Chains A and B, each alone.
Chain A
């Protein structure tokens, strides 16, 4: 329980310890209109076609309504009060880890984050050898050798316009939904990855991210293209708690897999989730979609969602190529006043396409956790198969769990299996483990990790241990 307090207080003390940036001196107008969109594009030195893309999206957005079909209530963002562009940030530097809030350090240590990385996360000046710029360079060289393009979206717009032009908006069209349209109009930055034909990306694109992607901004845009016979694994986010002065996060992620290509996309999301009453937490409204364009292609989403006040997120796969495979592995944890409505869509268009959905929802405190999934089998998708398993676990008496599976099949050869369970972490289970010497928090942590095992094993190895610990920390003191 004291750890919950520790987390609370570290959140409360963000100013003191430099999690906030210095006041931005750059005077960028608040609110949004065509001029603002143009100005963003101009600030980023974008070519005309990019500006047009943004304007088209903006115009579409003005005609759209903010959605409200999901299972969450929150105060709507005030779109005319938001600031849609912020200059690259400079984190205030501390001289040593001793200057970092001890509570934060305790959390880092519990998560087992290496010392040098702790420094980077906390904004402490680091040794030259471990400087993020030099790591960045090494990574880049290694990737370039393999022919993999990996850079920021802004850089890609400048250096690889033909690729960006061809693929951006091809999976998530600008008018796809309210938040995707807004993102398309004002996206700040994000990453671009292009893996050429017959190439196996020589490393997990996770190590890089953990260090360099700390300031992604509120409207992040990601585009990953895997050409024929290629393979790439990408991880965004990190287990350490993240803060941001922007309350609204509306990212768009597009994945494209050609013949025999495979993309594995993993997320660990631990944004600030607000205080006991849910005040101040991040709204995480993300559109993530992958297109299995090629035959035998595969896209796999794995997510561990633990943060944010409100999460609305449905990473989906369009199974276009014959024999293509879509997977969705998800753990969503909600505690206190958090609300999560998350799930996936598997759209089967090609023949013999296969999708697997494993969703584990854990709710504690006064939180609300919903799984919402859609499996659609189109007329031409002969022999399409889906297996869905949605399990909910409740901790305590004041939380909620809901499952909304939607199944639509227009092809009689399709096979859809859906299983769902709800269980409660019982006093008896906790007592049993305590009788074997475990503390109450460790007991809960063990039970929850057992419950999520199938999903956690899909995460890149180096994150699995941290992920385990993160779950424990998130649920500390949630019983009794």
Chain B
């Protein structure tokens, strides 16, 4: 589904290289976890897959369902089923969650030739989705993320994911900021949404999340590269040992190339 090949990414117009040759393959039905120290490039990777204009691909390619998506605008990628749950969800004052979701849903539906829902149908549709992440319906009438607590914003991201039913979900530190109960609920929700035809990439700092959502693969990113990949035991190993032992590994690798 997603194939990232030797991806080099710079900050647009500034020549600062952040990703320095990332390779990653995600297949249908899989869950991948990406871990790594602060500033290693995890969010940048997620954002460039979603098409953030601040970054520029200087080398390599991103293939999605067999085709390069480098030339696609962010909205076109969203139509194609790419979803990014933001590490820092953005506030849109004056626009209700409901309004945004209906626009999003219908725009995406239209682009896929699916039927659009009128406000009443959409309302019904939303009820089920609210339940999935145990969200209070009051949030529908509140402005998108405006004044939401940190945890509420994260839950809202997964609610949006539930509504839009993407095929590739990139969840950037969705667990950070969620309380213990919320983490369980949101993780349950993600598990229910995930099926054979879609894939999930989790970016996280904490092994705890991976107890709830069990990944097929775990990758460690350091210094703009994936320096180690493994199964879910790798996450436990990281929890014990930290990143130091890999960091030497990374520089050695870096120099060797």
Contacts and interface: CB of A to CB of B under 8 A. Distances in A.
Contacts of B92: 429, 432-433, 446-447, 450
A222 interface: no
A432 B79 CA distance: 14
Contact of A450 (B75, B79, B84, B143): B143
B213 interface: no
A437 B94 contact: no
A436 interface: yes
A442 B52 contact: no
A contacts with B: majority SS: helix
Nearest to A391: B93
B103 interface: yes
A431 B54 CA distance: 10
A120 B90 CA distance: 44
Interface string A434-445: 111111101000
A453 B143 CA distance: 11
Contacts of A378: none
A99 interface: no
Given A435-B78, A437-B78, A438-B103, A428 B160 contact: no
B90 A432 contact: yes
A11 B107 CA distance: 30
A450 B95 contact: yes
Interface in B176-205: none
A435 B77 CA distance: 8
Given A431-B50, A431-B74, A434-B78, 6 more contacts: A432-B89, A435-B50, A436-B160, A438-B103, A442-B107, A480-B53
A450 B94 CA distance: 4
B218 interface: no
B148 interface: no
Interface of A: 426-429, 431-440, 442, 446-447, 449-454, 480
Interface in B154-186: 160, 164
B75 A449 contact: no
Interface in B66-119: 73-75, 77-79, 83-84, 86, 89-95, 99-100, 103-104, 107-108, 111
Contacts of B90: 426, 428-429, 431-432
Contacts of B78: 434-437
Contacts of B54: 427, 431
Nearest to B108: A437
Interface string B39-51: 0000000000011
A453 B146 CA distance: 15
Contacts, number: 78
A433 B77 CA distance: 12
Nearest to A428: B90
Most buried by B among A427, A433, A439, A480: A433
A432 B164 contact: no
B107 A451 contact: no
Contact of A437 (B91, B99, B104): B104
A437 B72 CA distance: 12
B95 A434 contact: no
A452 B52 contact: no
- Please provide the 4 A-B residue pairs with the shortest distance between their CB atoms, ordered closest to farther: A450-B94, A450-B95, A434-B74, A432-B90
Nearest to A451: B94
A436 B164 contact: yes
21 contacts: A429-B90, A431-B50, A432-B86, A433-B92, A434-B73, A434-B74, A435-B75, A435-B77, A435-B78, A436-B100, A436-B104, A437-B104, A446-B95, A446-B99, A446-B103, A447-B92, A450-B92, A450-B95, A450-B143, A453-B94, A454-B94
Contacts of B52: 431
Contacts of B93: 450-451
Contacts of B50: 431, 435
A446 B75 contact: no
Contacts of B103: 436-438, 442, 446
Given A434-B74, A435-B78, A447 B95 contact: yes
Contacts of B84: 435
Contacts of A436: 78, 100, 103-104, 160, 164
Contacts of A480: 53
Contacts of A452: 94
B20 to A, nearest CB: 23
Contacts of B83: 435
Contacts of A439: 75, 107
A426 B54 CA distance: 12
A451 B89 CA distance: 18
A435 B52 CA distance: 9
B95 A435 contact: no
Contact of A446 (B51, B53, B86, B100): B100
Nearest to B90: A432
Nearest to A423: B93
Contacts of B111: 437
B107 A438 contact: yes
B95 A449 contact: yes
Most buried by A among B50, B78, B84, B94: B94
Contacts of B89: 432
Interface in B19-64: 50-54
Contacts of B143: 450
Nearest to A439: B75
B52 to A, nearest CB: 6
Most buried by B among A431, A433, A434, A435: A435
B94 A440 contact: no
A61 B82 CA distance: 65
Nearest to A443: B75
A426 B74 CA distance: 15
A449 B94 contact: yes
Interface in B104-141: 104, 107-108, 111
B56 to A, nearest CB: 14
A434 B94 contact: no
